[in-house]
Chains A and B, each alone.
Chain A
């Protein structure tokens, strides 16, 4: 009896791994890159790990948020603008405040942007306008507000707050424990939420087949709005991490636009198909770190940082082409 139970458990695990082999592959790729990077440079230690993990934070948060929204069958082109907005609000209002006040502001911002983006999700669901169009427009609105709140780069935050995300009150050096904790705790929380709660499963359900989900008695709108709320909250975290990293606010439109595009790239590289319903949040986390790691790796290899852009693009296109090729061959041989 015991053995059958255990073997059934193993079978479930094996099926689970096979279904999520892409996410697993991305984590393996990340490990391989880390090891390679370690051999590329003379000294590899706490400094490098801290630097990679803290610099990854904004993109990883955005990727988590984008992943949840994409899994639900949507896409949010305003996440970068939400990052800008949080960044501007935080830098403006956290400047010269005590840590307690800064924390309070941070919590308000996370909740507030979650609600704000939930509203966007609601608008998408009521209006019938495609996600990509609505968020394109709201992206303009949020980055406009960001510019209005903080017309030029500036502002600041509490040193303790910088320590929280970077492991150092100055934002330089410090321990890797904090950034890794700050990366993995939200990542695992959102992952568990998405796979093991009813609302998480309904987010997968509406992305997989929204008609079937409705017929099965699910509240499609609530699931949609929830996915956008999570996305908004994660974008707020990304904006807070940016303040902590840079110690200042930067409301430039292009910063937000790039962040959005990178979040989409991370999600797709991480194995979350843009059609929705599949993939794991954790895959997007690893892909986000990989995208950030490319820069130090390339410079360690002596490649002009200008070319990093090309390599990153080639990597994304290449991985997708290989993915397409695999599907093509599988269909041919089946």
Chain B
């Protein structure tokens, strides 16, 4: 494709954070009229590349070309000036200002912004509401609308669909179709390979800070057909995964492909084992209503819900972080009244929250992160268990945490951070594990490791409640699955027979009842 000058290109871009090389030598280019997928496992360098393109961090080495001209981008404001608009995973909006004040700060024409808002069916949004008061999915759309109102040439979208409803995602896809027709470009960072096949034209794969593959299927038809779909449909998802993981790793990963885990073949333990944790008529305002379930030793109970059905609140009730307005929590058959996570942890009920920011000590070493729960009681304050070091080493080994950047956890990749979050409970021990979306935004390999670990923990007698936003995980790891809708449990299915479509139907609530 020599006739088309790349709209945006990097040449041998490199970036290190302290001792960790995030990008080594990346050549990446985006043409006019394409939707380009940027793929890779966690820690492969996707986010770093986006940050360099967006001007958040300067590159240590290498060149950046926009429309064939070399450019220096020192700050986000420079990137915006050359026509690169970015929608980050965390919306770049000021929480204590109103939407309108945010627009004013970014010097955005309000009319252009409202045009895009109505494109996303959000014309009812009150621009005088504080950003702090708006839900995350709305903020991501606001952020996207603001980016579009800048009328950019290149749009960088980092995991844009993760927080959106299916409906809103469709809108974004059709927008990308238009974008292609207008001869602009978009870069899509995503973990959802189905999206890539559906709407992208090319895909660059990063691994260990290098661009290792470029998928470029019959690109002649790309710009010409002008439809909302890209040209990646014929690419095999497995090929993409293989490229992301590298040859040797993907072989070992294949052993644990769906349905093949040894534990899944066993008889469901629910009929045999004692109930270790139960909720009875648990309610919290209008958000969580009358939820009852039993969780047995050795069981992994799945929980499925669309965004915002009260699952976050349910988990904070179950972990003692909030008190229910009514209903009971039973541990080992006896009723518990918890006022803080302190009490829940004392009863062996522990939480791995969805947001890793809630569970990591970012500036402290891995070891300090892992040992915190060992000192929750005052009587533990003045000594350090003699086997502390041993326990930490065991947890690190068992999770195969990559400790190259162990002196500060914030330097670890997302997947490794999640392992640390899980690891602190391996060190301290527990009976009931509450897992909130532990694999969100994590690469395939780490996901598989986490599935295997959960099965292993269950086999050794733990009771696990697993909320997940990825429906495919239910069959893979769970024994039973509860479906939550509008604050209630609306259905229970046997995980072995739960299909994505049966789960989705139930998760929409009304259809199942009808």
The answer to whether A and B touch directly, with their CB atoms under 8 angstroms apart, is yes
Residues of B within 8 A of A214 (CB): 56, 75-76
Residues of A within 8 A of B101 (CB): 201, 204
Q: Mark B72-99, 1 if CB is under 8 A from A, else 0.
A: 0001110010000010101111111100
Q: A217-B76, A332-B323 are in contact. Are A208 and B96 (CB under 8 A)?
A: yes
- A201 and B106 alpha carbons, distance in the complex (Å): 10
25 contacts between A and B (CB under 8 A): A15-B128, A198-B104, A198-B105, A201-B97, A201-B104, A202-B105, A204-B97, A208-B96, A209-B96, A212-B92, A213-B92, A213-B94, A213-B105, A214-B75, A215-B56, A215-B92, A216-B94, A217-B76, A217-B77, A217-B106, A218-B77, A219-B75, A219-B77, A278-B96, A332-B323
Which residue on chain B has the smallest CB distance to residue A16?
B128
* Residue A139 is within 8 A (CB to CB) of chain B in the complex: no
Q: Which of A12, A198, A217, A277 is the one whose CB lies under 8 Å from B96?
A: A277
* Residue A89 is within 8 A (CB to CB) of chain B in the complex: no
Which residue on chain B has the smallest CB distance to residue A197?
B104
Residues of B within 8 A of A235 (CB): none
The distance from the CB of A69 to the nearest CB of chain B, in whole angstroms, is 16
Q: Would you call B77 and A208 a contact (CB within 8 A)? A: no
- A212 and B54 alpha carbons, distance in the complex (Å): 13
Q: Mark B306-347, 1 if CB is under 8 A from A, else 0.
A: 000000000000000001000000000000000000000000
- A12 and B128 alpha carbons, distance in the complex (Å): 7
CB under 8 Å from chain B, chain A span 248-264? none
Q: Would you call B96 and A216 a contact (CB within 8 A)? A: no
Q: Which of A208, A215, A219, A332 is the one whose CB lies under 8 Å from B95?
A: A208
- A212 and B76 alpha carbons, distance in the complex (Å): 11
Q: A201-B105, A216-B92 are in contact. Are A208 and B97 (CB under 8 A)?
A: yes
Residues of A within 8 A of B106 (CB): 216-218
Q: Which 4 A/B pairs are nearest by Cβ-Cβ distance? A: A215-B92, A208-B96, A277-B96, A217-B77
The CB with the most chain A CB atoms within 10 A, among B56, B92, B285, is that of: B92
Question: DSSP class of A's interface residues: helix, strand, loop or mixed?
Answer: helix
Chain B residues packing against A (C-beta within 8 Å): 54, 56, 75-77, 80, 86, 88, 90-97, 101-102, 104-107, 128-130, 285, 323
Question: DSSP class of B's interface residues: helix, strand, loop or mixed?
Answer: loop
Residues of A within 8 A of B105 (CB): 198, 201-202, 205, 213, 216, 218
Using a Cβ–Cβ cut-off of 8 Å, how many residues does chain A contribute to the interface with B?
25
Q: Would you call A216 and B130 a contact (CB within 8 A)? A: no
Which residue on chain A has the smallest CB distance to residue B51?
A215
Residues of A within 8 A of B54 (CB): 215
- A277 and B102 alpha carbons, distance in the complex (Å): 13
Residues of A within 8 A of B77 (CB): 217-219
Q: Would you call A212 and B93 a contact (CB within 8 A)? A: yes
- A305 and B80 alpha carbons, distance in the complex (Å): 59
Residues of B within 8 A of A216 (CB): 76, 92-94, 102, 105-106
- A233 and B194 alpha carbons, distance in the complex (Å): 58
Which residue on chain B has the smallest CB distance to residue A202?
B105
CB under 8 Å from chain B, chain A span 46-69? none
Residues of A within 8 A of B86 (CB): 215
The distance from the CB of B338 to the nearest CB of chain A, in whole angstroms, is 13
The distance from the CB of A28 to the nearest CB of chain B, in whole angstroms, is 23
The distance from the CB of A124 to the nearest CB of chain B, in whole angstroms, is 18
The distance from the CB of B154 to the nearest CB of chain A, in whole angstroms, is 15
Which residue on chain A has the smallest CB distance to residue B78?
A217
The distance from the CB of B117 to the nearest CB of chain A, in whole angstroms, is 17
Which residue on chain A has the smallest CB distance to residue B325?
A333
Which residue on chain A has the smallest CB distance to residue B91?
A212
Which residue on chain A has the smallest CB distance to residue B101?
A201
- A217 and B84 alpha carbons, distance in the complex (Å): 11
Q: Would you call B76 and A277 a contact (CB within 8 A)? A: no
- A230 and B277 alpha carbons, distance in the complex (Å): 58
Q: Would you call A212 and B94 a contact (CB within 8 A)? A: yes
Residues of B within 8 A of A209 (CB): 94-96
- A205 and B131 alpha carbons, distance in the complex (Å): 12
Residues of B within 8 A of A207 (CB): 96
- A276 and B305 alpha carbons, distance in the complex (Å): 36
- A158 and B503 alpha carbons, distance in the complex (Å): 83
The CB with the most chain B CB atoms within 10 A, among A15, A216, A278, is that of: A216
Q: Which of A204, A208, A215 is the one whose CB lies under 8 Å from B76?
A: A215
Additional pairs, 6, CB under 8 Å, beyond known A204-B96, A218-B105: A201-B97, A204-B101, A205-B94, A213-B94, A218-B106, A278-B96
- A313 and B96 alpha carbons, distance in the complex (Å): 29
- A11 and B129 alpha carbons, distance in the complex (Å): 11
The distance from the CB of A5 to the nearest CB of chain B, in whole angstroms, is 13
Q: Would you call B94 and A19 a contact (CB within 8 A)? A: no
- A205 and B96 alpha carbons, distance in the complex (Å): 7
- A309 and B95 alpha carbons, distance in the complex (Å): 37
- A212 and B95 alpha carbons, distance in the complex (Å): 9
Q: Would you call B90 and A212 a contact (CB within 8 A)? A: yes
- A334 and B321 alpha carbons, distance in the complex (Å): 12
Which residue on chain A has the smallest CB distance to residue B92?
A215
- A217 and B91 alpha carbons, distance in the complex (Å): 13
Q: Mark A187-216, 1 if CB is under 8 A from B, else 0.
A: 000000000001001101101110111111
- A11 and B285 alpha carbons, distance in the complex (Å): 26
Residues of A within 8 A of B323 (CB): 332
Residues of B within 8 A of A211 (CB): 90, 92
Q: Would you call B88 and A277 a contact (CB within 8 A)? A: no
- A222 and B92 alpha carbons, distance in the complex (Å): 18
The CB with the most chain B CB atoms within 10 A, among A11, A207, A215, A219, is that of: A215
- A332 and B91 alpha carbons, distance in the complex (Å): 28
The distance from the CB of B324 to the nearest CB of chain A, in whole angstroms, is 12
The distance from the CB of A9 to the nearest CB of chain B, in whole angstroms, is 10
- A252 and B128 alpha carbons, distance in the complex (Å): 48
Q: Mark A1-26, 1 if CB is under 8 A from B, else 0.
A: 00000000001100100010000000
Residues of B within 8 A of A212 (CB): 90-95
Which residue on chain A has the smallest CB distance to residue B88?
A215
Which residue on chain B has the smallest CB distance to residue A206?
B94
The distance from the CB of B174 to the nearest CB of chain A, in whole angstroms, is 26
- A204 and B102 alpha carbons, distance in the complex (Å): 11
